[in-house]
Chain A
């Protein structure tokens, strides 16, 4: 692990955040983490689980890869890890990284490549092998350090024998190093726990922020104990900082603070950030090298206070808990059209087009297990009743 500079009490930060927002904010620190939390960090390299790879604490997200000089600046700043995807824009990111790497000469040998593709149940072994070969071709390389099965949403998405067989064949041929999972779906708890138990996954590449699912740190710790390395992205917790007046007053940077926050977790090896210009590279390198300040902690806490229950993470927990099959997500969306987009008639038309059994009429005499199911404290039943009132001009 990296040497450390200054104390960050991660556990206390989260506790304070939880008190302030009235709900459990983000990870729930454990005694072990509290010990870690009294240590500090600096921009450095961290081991990626038991893969043997050392990744830079900040890694280069895909955007900006079409500029070789940006990559060169990133390497100069110490960033050695580059994250792309084979499925996005028909492999355009991989092609850009391949071209950029080809201009780097021997420096490309220091790069850790993380890429992947959407692998779904039912896909054939040949398709998996072809996808890996296509990534190698586009990247102009003969080895991928981490290959991800991308955009995984449910444990069922991991039930793909062809993926594991194909990956092992490719590994035997020296084409790939380690198998990972990429996900930014809401409600990842079930998925990540299943992935830990499945025994094939060596790397997590996941959304991680300070207002998301409460048991995330416990899951990452369990993963780490089994040697699974974790890289994270989307640390911005919904990226809605502009909605809070003066949040970044005094020269603070919300995105940089969220990166620092993520790096206080010893189980997070690297934070992937989109690097679109030279300034971004310098700023994030500097951010990773400096500790989270009290002003930044206050900023994150304020964001958590104000935003925690104001947005839906699309986790689907509420819908799954509904005993009557109410179309929770659809109804909330129609209510959004009605309330925020001036499309009242359309919203009402769509609501009325729902099968009767899926409408929020059923919520009136329900005990509202959806409220308890929402991991983020949203009052789902009340929102549905309000939506029904709006969309029908009548009480449920």
Chain B
């Protein structure tokens, strides 16, 4: 049945592509055309939408979450609710976001990806977790959620994400900003990009985080590229001041180390206009080694 749907959608997509008169949007095709037509999905109908949201109106749709999307460069979103038959409690909500850049799409995707997700080969990367299926590709971020975990609804979430990702053009490679991350010990799919407030510190701005496992312990490596060296100095000082509120802090070469009783330890350094660090359960020695490898790659 799934293959038949895919065939129908492929024909539909070809027809849509031929008939398309407007120039392609940032995601390669017009956002509205990314949501499959209901008649191509047997038993399903579009019960709500498609509705388009812009930076002005996303505020009305997302309950408090809009600023996060805006920080990642959100440009537009198309929303639709697919309903199985006549039962409004058998719905799947599909939202396709044009994030304006590949980094924005990866960023918002990675920032809300749960650590226990099951990864899928949709787009550049996708996952399923509970009632949610999501993926990113190019400048598009796709987020589909079912009313509950009934197999027919979950199957629909997966089908929708796969179909949308097939239509989107754009890169399926990780963003270049992740390249400095050392590969040894990196926990797969743990890389994240935060557009602002890295680790809750406004002074750090945006940056990259990733989880590492070394010798059975885990730590989170991070780095942020500031505007210049002065800004980096200011940012590491601000970071240190916050840490001094709860943790024991001591000087370390080019930065500081902290030990938060009962919680975690960490090492933070500045190199050029970068602030980099690692925190978690890793020993100080392991933290230092990891940071050395990161700094070497940042330099290159």
B 245-287 to A, binary, CB cutoff 8 A, 1 in contact else 0: 1100000000000001011000000000000000000000000
B196, CB-defined interface residue at 8 Å: yes
Would you call B88 and A90 a contact (CB within 8 A)? no
A 314-347 to B, binary, CB cutoff 8 A, 1 in contact else 0: 1000000000000000000100110000010110
Would you call B63 and A276 a contact (CB within 8 A)? no
- Who on chain B is nearest to A310 by CB? B56
- Who on chain A is nearest to B68 by CB? A63
Would you call A89 and B263 a contact (CB within 8 A)? no
A residues contacting the other copy or chain, number (CB 8 A): 52
B residues contacting the other copy or chain, number (CB 8 A): 40
**Out of B32, B59, B64, B87, which one reaches A63, CB within 8 Å?**
B64
A42, CB-defined interface residue at 8 Å: no
Would you call A90 and B145 a contact (CB within 8 A)? yes
B200, CB-defined interface residue at 8 Å: yes
A72, CB-defined interface residue at 8 Å: yes
**Out of A61, A69, A184, which one reaches B60, CB within 8 Å?**
A184
| C-alpha gap A186/B21 in the complex (Å) | 35
| C-alpha gap A311/B53 in the complex (Å) | 13
CB-CB under 8 A from A91, the residues of chain B are 130
Would you call A234 and B22 a contact (CB within 8 A)? no
B30, CB-defined interface residue at 8 Å: yes
Would you call B59 and A238 a contact (CB within 8 A)? yes
Would you call B201 and A278 a contact (CB within 8 A)? yes
B52, CB-defined interface residue at 8 Å: yes
- Who on chain B is nearest to A67 by CB? B200
A256, CB-defined interface residue at 8 Å: no
| C-alpha gap A279/B57 in the complex (Å) | 27
Chain A: minimal CB distance from B108 (Å) = 11
**Out of A64, A279, A346, which one reaches B22, CB within 8 Å?**
A346
Chain A: minimal CB distance from B21 (Å) = 5
Would you call A345 and B60 a contact (CB within 8 A)? no
B202, CB-defined interface residue at 8 Å: yes
- Who on chain B is nearest to A124 by CB? B89
B 59-74 to A, binary, CB cutoff 8 A, 1 in contact else 0: 1100111111000000
CB-CB under 8 A from A278, the residues of chain B are 200-202, 242
Chain A: minimal CB distance from B204 (Å) = 9
Would you call B200 and A333 a contact (CB within 8 A)? no
| C-alpha gap A105/B262 in the complex (Å) | 10
A7, CB-defined interface residue at 8 Å: no
**CB<8 Å pairs between A and B, sample of 13:** A62-B64, A73-B242, A90-B114, A90-B130, A90-B145, A105-B262, A122-B87, A277-B196, A314-B60, A343-B22, A346-B21, A346-B22, A349-B21
A-B contact sample (15 more), CB < 8 A, given A63-B65, A186-B60, A279-B202: A69-B242, A90-B114, A90-B129, A90-B131, A120-B88, A150-B63, A234-B59, A238-B56, A276-B68, A276-B196, A277-B197, A277-B201, A277-B202, A311-B57, A343-B30
